[in-house]
Structure 1
Amino acid sequence: MDKDAQIEPADRGTVVFVCDPHWEGHGRAIAGKLGAPIHLLSELRLDDLTDAEQVVVDADLRDMDSVGRLKHALDRVPAIRARTFLIDEGSGERLLRVQANALGATRHMVRKFALAELRREYSVTGRARRTAAAETALRADAGGASIAEAEHSLETLFEGMLSDATVSLQAVSQAAAGVLASVRAVGADAWLASVRRHHEGTFQHCLLVTGVAAGFAKGAGLGGGQAAALMNAALLHDVGKAVIPRHILDKPGKLTAEEFEAVKLHPGAGFDYLSKQGNVSALVLDAVRHHHEALDGSGYPDRLRGAEIGPLTRILTVCDIFAALVETRPYKEARTPREAINVLVDMSIGSKVDYAAVRTLGGSFGVPLPERFGDVVRGFTVTRPHG
């Protein structure tokens, strides 16, 4: 990525929730949405907080036993400088704020608004916008104008989902059509390379999926409604990630169980949000909800199998995986198109993805594959060592 493209705000870091049994239900609801570990105050151990960079406290500050436990725990981890306390509105609010401050609070949040505020704070929409110079550099690159317009659509979509606002799907369709026209003009490889030079993280992935889908549509000769549906699905497919914290989406290492459960919420969240817009086609909605399903039933969120997964969704799934493999991340090298297609071939042999979609995508990126799936399987069993 161009280092001058955008300056990210300080990393929000690892967040840990601490709550009373009295507020356990509310605390678990918020922690679950953010993929954060949660600890009951009555069972809190010092090592539960040693890796935390932020702590969110959801406790009854009128209860002196809770206050004493909190003071004992937080005094022993002075390195945690960000301490958010959830409080209730009302006549006792001032007293609660004073009590929280005595425990080292760096800020307060009204309990009923906390989830929305924390989601916005931790979302990828919290990233800094690119500078004017970086915007000019992007638009001067191959396909840059269409990339900038698609990025703007993503920003609008993510912000709309966070605030549960209505967005213009016509603008999304126009941006998607612009990407398809640009890829047809400059080629998929050049377009994807421009994305990698100017973007990182979640937005890089969303744009790459859209560009890969355009490459698929171009290679397959799709036109009219088919191409439009695929392009719209590609640009919309990860809108549900608006509610997943950036520190999870862009984590360099393996996700914890809690973090992976949070990530798995995004297809359903995106589907629910787009369903309320009223003008997204059923085929596109299906692809948004099911792009992480697998033919053998091992995917999510609905564990669909085989024929339950529609053609558009099968195509979007392979475009999504291909994009993830060729994207650049600080902790991994980007795969070449050939390497990415080889991974997808292995996945098709393992009954995860549709071979016909993989074959078409391979042809679109200069990686020809046998027409008959049986030839692929026979070649696999002959050329791969046993054991």
Structure 2
Amino acid sequence: MRARTFLVDEGNSERLLRVQANALGATRHMVRRFALNQLQRELSAPLRPKRTPRDLAKLKAAPGGESAFRAGEALSDLFEGVLSGEAISLQGVSQAAAGVLASVGDVGAGQWLATVREHHEGTFQHCMLVTGVAAGFARGAKLSSAQAGALMNAALLHDIGKAVIPRNILDKPGKLTPEEFEAVKLHPVAGYDYLGKHGSVSPVIMDAVRHHHEALDGSGYPDKLKGEEITPLTRILTACDVFAALVETRPYKATRTPEEAVEVLIDMTLTSKVDYGPVRALAGSFGVALPPTMGGLVTKVAGVRPLG
């Protein structure tokens, strides 16, 4: 049976309006002045995961599970903040990101990602995986405390603009239409704008949130930046984002191994989409050794498969 929602006004006639709506086949009611916000929440943001006490205990008991839970709570707060327009505590975001970094150091990036895949799904899973991949990068590349903190915060914040994208588009089991893809492309600016209004986020992290879908050849979005216009932190975040998308679990696609994800990133490097430096460091963080230079990569690939 198809759900039928009726909007009712407040006041002396509200009860009568509900009775009339029921007579017309209403399955639920909304008070008009609250309806827009409620519908936007239902149709757009990935909702806070609902777990039974047993499921929650299982998550927290899993390797890295406590930090995954804390990061998930911070991420839920972020999505809700974007939708409501209310500011949230960015200190909580930083604490959650630091917890993931420490946890990945304890259990390993691969195990932490496995825990997330088991207990999260859809867009929420992707955002969590990017944070875990970033932690693996920071550990493997031996980033300084300041560099690791910036990357971890950028990873947790990077996709919060997806709160405004309809869920039927975000989690569509198949290729997006051109119109749907245009809707998805709104999320970097939506996240950037929210942080600009409500946070004290550093400019370098703000830049990474806005530009993590840019490409070195200028074919990315939203600003079609090229080459040196793309900052080092953004280049790292882009590589982590692509890697996470490839290793995530979705019902309609195969989950790639880290080695397979690196192969895709190599192709993106050879076509001037992503920077080889971060790709090589990320690959090394997940046990895949690549040549120290781009020239060495070209030579290696040419010896295995034809280029072009």
Q: What TM-score comes out, normalization by structure 2 length?
A: 0.91
Q: Report the identity percentage.
A: 69
Q: Which residue of 1 aligns with 2:79?
A: 158
Q: Which residue of 1 aligns with 2:61?
A: 140
Unmatched 5+ stretches in structure 2: none
Within 5 A, what are the aligned runs for 1:65-80? none
Q: Which residue of 1 aligns with 2:278?
A: 357
Cα contact 2:212–2:235 (8 A) shared by 1: yes
Look up the SS of the partner of 1:126 in the other structure: coil
**Is 1:348 aligned to residue 296 of structure 2?**
no
CA pair 104-295 structure 1, distance change in 2 beyond 3 A: farther
- Counterparts of 1:253 and 1:294, CA distance in 2: 24
- Counterparts of 1:148 and 1:279, CA distance in 2: 24
Q: Which residue of 1 aligns with 2:248?
A: 327
- Counterparts of 2:222 and 2:23, CA distance in 1: 44
Cα contact 1:234–1:316 (8 A) shared by 2: yes
- Counterparts of 1:105 and 1:350, CA distance in 2: 54
Q: Which residue of 2 aligns with 1:184?
A: 105
Q: Which residue of 2 aligns with 1:233?
A: 154
CA pair 286-386 structure 1, distance change in 2 beyond 3 A: closer
- Counterparts of 2:25 and 2:155, CA distance in 1: 45
**Is 1:274 aligned to residue 195 of structure 2?**
yes
Within 5 A, what are the aligned runs for 1:212-361? 212-361=133-282
Within 5 A, what are the aligned runs for 1:166-177? 166-177=87-98
Look up the SS of the partner of 2:299 in the other structure: helix
CA pair 267-88 structure 1, distance change in 2 beyond 3 A: farther
- Counterparts of 2:300 and 2:15, CA distance in 1: 72
- Counterparts of 1:303 and 1:249, CA distance in 2: 22
* Letter of the 2:248 counterpart: E
Which protein has the bigger helix share? 2
Look up the SS of the partner of 1:82 in the other structure: coil
**Is 1:206 aligned to residue 127 of structure 2?**
yes
- Counterparts of 1:86 and 1:354, CA distance in 2: 51
| 1:329-381 Cα distance to aligned partner (Å, 9 max, x none) | 11112111011011001101100001000000011000010011012123334
* Letter of the 2:195 counterpart: L
Instruction: Report how far residue 144 of structure 1 moved.
Output: 0.8
Q: Which residue of 1 aligns with 2:44?
A: 123
CA pair 86-298 structure 1, distance change in 2 beyond 3 A: farther
- Counterparts of 1:309 and 1:100, CA distance in 2: 55
Instruction: Report how far residue 97 of structure 1 moved.
Output: 9.0
Instruction: Report how far residue 257 of structure 1 moved.
Output: 2.2
| 1:188-232 Cα distance to aligned partner (Å, 9 max, x none) | 111111111111111111111001000000011112211100000
Q: Structure 1 residues 132-141 or 252-261, which shifts more?
A: 252-261
Cα contact 2:46–2:124 (8 A) shared by 1: no
* Letter of the 2:274 counterpart: V
Unmatched 5+ stretches in structure 1: 1-78
Q: Which residue of 1 aligns with 2:298?
A: 377
| 1:5-24 Cα distance to aligned partner (Å, 9 max, x none) | xxxxxxxxxxxxxxxxxxxx
Look up the SS of the partner of 2:198 in the other structure: coil
